[in-house]
Structure 1
Amino acid sequence: MGEKLDHENEKEISNLEKAYIGDSISLEEAEPENSKIEAVRLVVPLTDDPTLIVMTFRFWVLVTFFSIMGAATEQYYFFRAAKGNFSIYFVNLASYGMGTFMARVLPTTKWTIGGHTFSFNPGPFNIKEHTLIGVGVSAAAGSAYAMYTLSVMDLMLQHRIDALGSMILIITTQCLGYGMAGTLRKYLVYPAEMVWWPNLVQVVFYHAMHNTDEFKNKKMIRGWSYMKYFWIFCGGMFLYQFIPQLFAPMLVYFDWICWFKPFDYNYWALFSSMSRGGVGILSLTFDWSQIGGDNMWMPLSTQLLRYGGIILSYWIIFPYIWLNNVYDAKIFGYALTPSLYFMNGTAFKINSVLNTDFTLNEEKYAAGPKVTMTPMYALIFLYSFIALGSCISHIVCFHGADMWKTWKSAIHSTDEDIHQKMMKVYPEVPQMWYAILYVVMLALSMVAVEVYELQLPWYGLLFAAAIAWILSLPIGAMTAITGTGPGLNVITQLTCGFLFPGKVIANMTFKCYGYMAMWQCHRLLEDLKLGVYMKVPPRAMFVAQIWGASIGAVFNYIVMIIIIDNKREFLDGTRPDPTGLWTGVSPQVYWGSGLIYGALGPAKMFGKDSQYHFIYWGFLIGAVLPIIQWGLSKKFPSVKWSALNITIIAGGMSAYPGGLVIGVVCGLVVCVIWQGWLFKYHRNWWSKYTFILSAALDTGSAFTGLFLFLFLQGGLHPKLTFDMPSWFMNPISPKGDNAPYLGVNRCGAFEHKWQSGMLEK
């Protein structure tokens, strides 16, 4: 009997060794104690090797290299209508290959300097080192929010802050929230209930790559290895993207319905999707950067709700507004634009009513005609308010009881999370580190707002920081527990609009500090939780995050300056880009909201005398709808009312500020095939290929965009510019010398010489 039990115990330990990835597993780790969260129990191993070195020479080289690449790529796409991204999957895969290669070729010689011994190659490339690279790069691989403020000031106000002031603004807005994270980690990282759900995907990905049995021996189609499969499809997409991005740009906006009536103004507004043209009903795109790999793995319900919101807003509501000329929609000339206009349709130029310090001259403004915006842009604010109100209401109604229960358990629980217990072998980051970082960043922030003419007084900065402090804890708890939470961009702009009316730069700066302090705080907390799951030393996590944010700030700024200097006339609206790709839509939208909330103020734009005074009802509508759903769920419990998430629908309805509304049909096709058919009927194939294929396609597409900008569009030097000759799939010549029949630009008639559909006066 005893021998049988011993045999069963040996089998159990063997099974655990196969299930969990790591070096050796102790009998203590085989005990039943585990996380109280089921998903974490299934995904996160109870293994650790504290002897692994994480901050190696390889780490510093790779995190710097990929941080520069990611910051440059994301900033490049910031100014383009055709959005792309720098895939973190590419970073994980490429850094794995490069890290293992460096581990094979670097010398293993040990060097001693000042009593400290180090080596360029301390051993095999390990999973913690790999995780730390991903954390650092994720902090860098984005366009810092301060780039909105800096680019808008440069493009719209012709006011460029010097390099030192710009760097202070970027780094302080990126790092102020990091200091807050130190205080909040006790409540938002240590408890098991604070899952931070996106981390579980990363945990699976890292462990799969470093598991010899699951990764190296896993064969794909034609017997290819995992890495070979990635690089082949990545290279294929890199080559393919030259077709829509360079040779045949019509494939980016394939507005096929427009061809039936290319000289009809209504067709242009409804069916064109090019560069502030129209809303692109049934438009197609063959540009992968417009479709995106997330359609292959994001939950089908989420995607259907988002696309449903887009269709409701742009394919149903907008045609009614346009064809019936509601709020004089046609008089403004464009279907979708963040620009402001006088009531007669003439474009409003804010510079004519600004003082020398860029504040609003009330007398000049009052002496002129009334200023307004297009109906669709006004509705965007309504939808945004609905999204914010419904987000909070939905969480309270459908998750409130569970959240309150788990929150109290997290605060008062004496049972420490098993993963947090395992982290006690590593020195924690002293609270003083975070305190010093916060004080330094706050002091530099005051320097930025007081010295560099940002219009925001020091006490306004403190008020923005206070908003971030007050809301970071509850919203952080919502995000960590439920996976979703509202942002502060709308609230901060609205608050500053009432506090400092007539100051557009102050409004943008207030929003930048208030919104980003909370966002960056939550980002660091999420990474700290990933460190807990992966057993990465907390101090190494802290350093990697700060290093990545700093590198990203520098190269965000460098790329911004290069692009603005080369593409200014396209980005500021002086001249339309013939390709329709360089529109500066992101800074233009940011500038539009800055004018509305800052220069003119919410009282002028949405006050009782405004035709859009109904906008504020969005908060109430958003708050009430989930309550109605909750009541219906009690009356009809068999129906899953919580699945009809108003926040996601409203987010789809306000899709335009994030870019042009294109790729809806193709995105729907991809998500239905991958999530509706493959996932349901061929789940093994889906689980084997989807994530790696998505990463490969997104990465190849991002590389094409960066290559074109650097070597064919004057990114490195103005002489490195290549203009594709005009032909059927490239109907607009940059020199303007193409034949008129080629100038039927997807849907817009040549030189806008319309034959029908114009506003009848």
Structure 2
Amino acid sequence: MTDKQEYAAEKEFVDEKFDVERSSVILEEEENSPIPEVAAIVSNKDDPTLPVMTVRFWFMAVLFSCILSFFNQFFWFRTHPMTISTLVIQLLSYPLGKFLARVLPAGPLNPGPFNIKEHVLVALCANCAGGTAYAVDITVIQKVWYLQDYGFLANFLLILMTQMLGYGMAGVLRKYLVYPAAMIWPANLVQVALFNTLHKDEDLQPGQWSRFKFFCIATVGMFLYQWIPGFLFPVISSIAWVCWINPKNHVLSQIGGANGLGVGAISLDWNNIVAFLGSPLIVPWWAQVNIAMGFFLIAWIMVPIAYYTNLWEAKRFPILTSKLFTTEGDAYVVKDVMTGGTIDMDKYLVQGPLRISTFFALTYGIGFAGLSSMITHTWLYHRHKLVAQWKQSRTQSEDIHHKLMQAYPEVPDWWYAGLFVFMTALGIFTCEYYGYMPWWAVLLAILISVTFALPVGLIQALTNQQPGLNIITEYVIGYILPGQPIPNVTFKTLGYISMAQAMTFTSDLKLGHYMKVPPKAMFWAQLLGTFIAGLVNLLTANWLLKTQKDVCTSDNKEFSCPSANTFFSASVIWGVIAPNLMFGPTSIYNAINYFFLIGFVLPIPFYYLKKAFPNTWMDFIHIPVLLAATGMMPPAQAYHYTNWLAVGFAFQFFARRYHPEWHLRFTYVMSAAFDSGVAFMVLLSFFIFTIRGASMVEWWGNPAAEICRLDSYPLMAPRNGKDDPWADPELEDIPKYVFPMAYTPFRTDLPALA
């Protein structure tokens, strides 16, 4: 096979040996999906008589939705957050469903064996409850930083409206993102393979483990192992060996430190690896390559050049941080520039302009570019498909799966339309009555969300990556309502998360499409999971805010809320200070606005290069995915990315290519098992130790302070002489026995850096 043929095969997600081994169904009919990977995994047969919304389903759906929404909201507050994936629920609900089918009396409450469609519906409900409600962060910053409390009912209505509005949009998107065979939604294929695996008798060789046995053993193994980096020996969570060479060297600490560029930093903690980017075991390798290129270009090329050339006085601030500063390099005290919840220009002129790290400013610019590139990319690559699909959506079936779904009554369009209108009305009432923002802002936020839903959906359906609208929404409202942080974050949440929820709902509809679950059953299951999640998320957040001392601050080592801190910083940048002062003509960050134009133009040359050189590596370049690579930074750190990519390479490239049989049988199961093991350990540790104020004794594997501290200090001392990193007494206390082979005595004759 030639190199071009190999590239073409990889582009179409087709590795012949991989697809043959991965097939979890025996295809007996000639007609199948035109997408080879889908044809190999998704069954082209269906049994419409299987019961779906049984008592077993209702019991497990409510149970697992409550558990998943509590755990994920709890973990989101932690200094090292994590997310339990729906794969865990898939695996845990299977034996429980079998057990219920065995012990419940036969009859209407127990209509035969636990079947695959019941199982899928439980997972769909839990998936809607799996993500933490974005609007919870509004409640958090109001209570912690702005000292406001609109009350539980106001908070819950806001969460409910922002989480459910997207479902009405999904009803329209299904014609373009669910019915077409080309919209594969790669993450769903993982779940389909696992469902088929669990419900199909495995043909095991002597001594060969079943997937469920592997899951149980891997879960227990990870549970036991996680006590080492999570409690006993936390140093191995981020082994920044580069800065160990000389912990007192400022530049070396910035380059190799875990809070710096993380060059060479190694993490042996699964919780750290998946904390912000999710599991690297389920993202296609070609998408990981785009993420890697984007990360290296932005974090390891653009940021160091900008920082060490002192762009925007970069050296006066830490190299990677979302914190806010004055022009002098001191912490920016937000309350000192506000009166009555809005900016006071007289006070602002006294404290001066807001400054952020150069990296933080560049990430906003990259976000601008990613958003505009998404529009250009969608037009160049997908315009013909969209027009054709619009013409065919009412008259033609896409493939065998769409034809099989005709056996079930479709959800009437007015159900989706009614839900959309009701949630819009609820949003207008909630925002106006409780003072979150004006009614017209609700309509404008929804308009932005609706406009970008289809382009974002096309990208996610093909790449499993979702560009966000958070930056453009806060940018728009920041110009319209300057100086008002709560309206700003409310507008951002509504405009961004309703689109993101539409993607979640649409993805689940595609999973149900693959598994032939009745559409009306999916409709009610998704609404149930979303309602439970909003309620449990808010209750969990309020519980932690009341019971944890110094929650969401650096004084609380367990619950410092990195995402809420970034959310608060954004509320100040875009809400209090507002984009006109922050990025307007008089600001030193004004050049950031040109990234809109850069992103809009960037996909064009790559599009024509691809046409000029077909079936080459140019086919794999996806500009929106590349630019969205660092979208989680901050709060994610650079070493989170490098370790995530290393693990992804090991499994999605090396294991997939050289050990396909093992990869197909166990990789996705292992991902779910590791998530489960870590979750059990973290919860047990919290209720045994953290809640009682107990902690591991200090020793060289659990030092009282970070070994490499200078990565979080500016290279130049503040102009007023405060917080000089060279004068930090704690840096003198790094014990010499920590790493005796690498320790270099602190030099007192270092020249002043200016």
TM range (shorter): 0.7 to 0.9
Larger mean CA deviation between 72-81 and 536-545 belongs to 72-81
Q: Which residue of 1 aligns with 2:356?
A: 373
Aligned AA (2:119): H
- Taking structure 1 as reference, are residues 484 and 759 closer, same or farther at Cα in structure 2, changes over 3 Å only? same
What are the ranges of 5 or more consecutive residues in structure 2 without an aligned counterpart? Answer: 1-22, 707-728
Q: Is the 8 A contact 2:56 2:100 kept in 1?
A: yes
Matched, 1:131 2:116: no
Residue pairs, 1:447-526, within 5 angstroms:
447-454=429-436, 456-477=437-458, 479-480=460-461, 486-526=467-507
1:96-245 paired onto structure 2 within 5 Å: 96-108=94-106, 110=107, 118-119=108-109, 121-212=110-201, 214=202, 217-218=203-204, 222-245=207-230
Q: Which residue of 2 aligns with 1:618?
A: 595
**Residue 722 of structure 2 corresponds to residue 740 of structure 1:** no
In structure 2, what is the equivalent of residue 15 of structure 1?
A: none
1:675 maps to 652
How far has the Cα of 1:536 moved from its partner? 1.1
In structure 1, give the amino acid aligned to 2:188. N
Alignment partner of 1:87 is 2:69: no
CA offsets, 1:562-614, max 9 Å, x none?
Answer: 333344525234x3x4x5x5432111112222222222111111112211111
Match of 1:694 among 646, 652, 671: 671
SS of match in other structure, 1:662: helix
2:409 is the alignment partner of 1:427: yes
Structure 2 letter corresponding to 1:536: V
Deviation of the 1:140 alpha carbon: 0.3
1:526 & 1:541 partners in 2: Cα distance? 12
User: Structure 1 739/103 Cα, relative in aligned 2: closer, same or farther at 3 Å?
Assistant: farther
- Pair 1:760-2:753 in alignment: yes
Alignment of 1:652 with 2:629, yes or no, is yes
Deviations 1:532-578 (A, max 9, x none): 221211121111111111111122112212333344525234x3x4x
Q: 2:263 maps to what in 1?
A: 281
Cα 1:97–1:82 change in 2 (3 A) is same
Counterpart Cα distance in 1 of 2:462 and 2:653: 27
Moved more, 313-322 or 224-233: 313-322
- Contact conserved, 2:467 with 2:624, CA < 8 A, in 1? no
CA contact (8 A) 2:198 2:212 kept: no
Tell me the distance in 2 between the aligned counterparts of 1:745 and 1:596.
Answer: 40
Q: Judging changes above 3 Å, is the alpha-carbon distance between structure 1 residues 738 and 709 closer, same or farther for their aligned structure 2 residues?
A: farther
Match of 1:344 in 2: 328
Contact 2:176 2:390 in 1 (8 A): no
SS in 1 for 2:602: helix
Match of 2:503, SS? helix
Identity in percent: 35
CA distance 1:739–1:756, change in 2 (3 Å): closer
Question: 8 Å contact 2:176–2:386 — kept in the other structure?
Answer: no
Q: Which residue of 1 aligns with 2:372?
A: 389
Question: Residues of 2 paired with 1:510 and 1:244: CA distance?
Answer: 39
Q: SS in structure 1 opposite 2:325?
A: strand
Q: Describe the superposition over 1:368-421 as per-residue Cα deviations: whole angstroms up to 9, x where unpaired.
A: 322221111111111212222333333433x23552454345336444654334
Q: 1:193–1:406: 8 Å Cα contact kept in structure 2?
A: no
Cα gap change, 1:424/1:408 in structure 2, threshold over 3 Å: closer, same or farther? closer
Note if 1:46 corresponds to 2:44: yes
Question: Who is 2:639 aligned against?
Answer: 662
- Find the residue that maps to 1:51 and give its secondary structure: coil
Shift in Å, 1:460: 0.9
Kindly report which structure 2 residues correspond to 1:246-325, keeping only aligned pairs within 5 A, or say none.
Answer: 246-273=231-258, 277-292=259-274, 294-325=279-310
Moved more, 79-88 or 481-490: 481-490
Match of 2:702 in 1: 730
Is the 1:203–1:534 contact (alpha carbons within 8 Å) kept by the matching residues of 2? yes
Partner in structure 1 of residue 608 of structure 2: 631
CA distance in 2, matches of 1:103, 1:603: 62
After TM superposition, give the deviation of residue 232 of structure 1 in Å.
Answer: 0.8
Distance in 1 separating the partners of 2:739 and 2:413 = 58
Q: Which one-letter code corresponds to 2:364 in the other structure? A: F
**TM norm structure 1:** 0.85
Compare 76-85 and 563-572 and name the one that shifted more.
563-572
SS at match of 2:550: helix
Paired residues in the alignment total 704
1:428 partner amino acid: E
For residues 50-91 of structure 1, give each alpha carbon's deviation from its aligned partner in whole angstroms, at most 9, with x where no partner exists. 222111222122222221221122212322342322022211
Q: Which residue of 2 aligns with 1:685?
A: 662
User: Does 2:425 correspond to 1:443?
Assistant: yes
Alignment deviations for residues 617-664 of structure 1 (CA, whole Å, 9 cap, x no partner): 212222222211223334444633232333333333454224222244
Q: Which runs of 5+ in 1 are unaligned?
A: 1-18, 111-117, 715-719
Deviation track 1:639-690 (CA, whole Å, cap 9, x = no partner) reads 3323233333333345422422224454344333323332222222222222
Cα distance change on mapping 1:757 and 1:567 into 2, 3 Å: farther
Of the structure 1 ranges 376-385 and 308-317, higher mean CA displacement relative to structure 2 is found in 308-317
* Conservation of the 8 A alpha-carbon contact between 2:241 and 2:265: yes
Measured in 2, the distance between the counterparts of 1:462 and 1:756 equals 61
Change (3 A) 1:41 1:133: same
CA 1:388 to 1:471, structure 2 compared with 1: closer, same or farther past 3 Å?
closer
Using the alignment, how far apart are the partners of 2:59 and 2:230 within structure 1?
31
- Which AA in structure 1 matches 2:43? P
Shift of the 351–366 alpha-carbon distance from structure 1 to 2, 3 Å rule, reads same
Paired AA for residue 679 in structure 2:
A
Inter-partner Cα distance in structure 2 for 1:668 and 1:430: 43
Moved more, 724-733 or 482-491: 482-491
AA at the equivalent of 1:339: K
Superposition deviation, residue 272 in structure 1: 2.0
- For the structure 1 residues 618 and 479, does the alpha-carbon distance in structure 2 shift closer, same or farther, using more than 3 Å as the test? same
Secondary structure, counterpart of 2:223 in structure 1: helix
- Offset of residue 482 of structure 1: 6.7
Classify the secondary structure of the residue corresponding to 1:281.
Answer: coil
Change (3 A) 1:31 1:230: closer
> 1:101 is matched by which residue type in structure 2?
F
Residue 343 of structure 2, aligned match among 334, 346, 360: 360
Q: What is the TM-score when the length of structure 2 is the normalising length?
A: 0.86
Q: 1:621 is aligned with what amino acid?
A: I
The CA deviation string for residues 673-722 of structure 1, in whole angstroms up to 9 with x for no partner, is 323332222222222222222221222122222322333211xxxxx332
Kindly indicate whether residue 542 of structure 2 is the aligned counterpart of residue 530 of structure 1. Answer: no
Structure 2 residue aligned with 1:541: 522
How far 1:496 sits from its partner (Å)?
A: 0.9
Please state if 1:569 is matched with 2:558: no
What SS does structure 2 have at the residue aligned with 1:656?
Answer: coil
Give the direction of change, closer, same or farther, for the CA distance of 1:475–1:551 in structure 2 (3 Å limit). same
Residue 600 of structure 1 is aligned with which of 566, 577, 580? Answer: 577
Helix, strand or coil at the partner of 2:393: helix
- Stretch moving more, 531-540 or 561-570: 561-570
Contact 1:310–1:655 (Cα < 8 Å) also in 2 = no
Give the superposed CA RMSD: 3.2
Whole-Å separation in 2 of the counterparts to 1:757 and 1:67: 57
SS at match of 1:649: helix
The structural deviation recorded for 1:230 is 0.8
Residue-by-residue CA offset, 1:402-449 (whole Å, 9 max, x unaligned): 524543453364446543343333333333433332333223222321
Aligned residue for 1:598, secondary structure, equals helix
Partner SS state of residue 571, structure 1: coil
Change (3 A) 1:744 1:285: farther
In structure 2, C-alpha distance between the alignment counterparts of 1:478 and 1:726, rounded to whole Å = 47
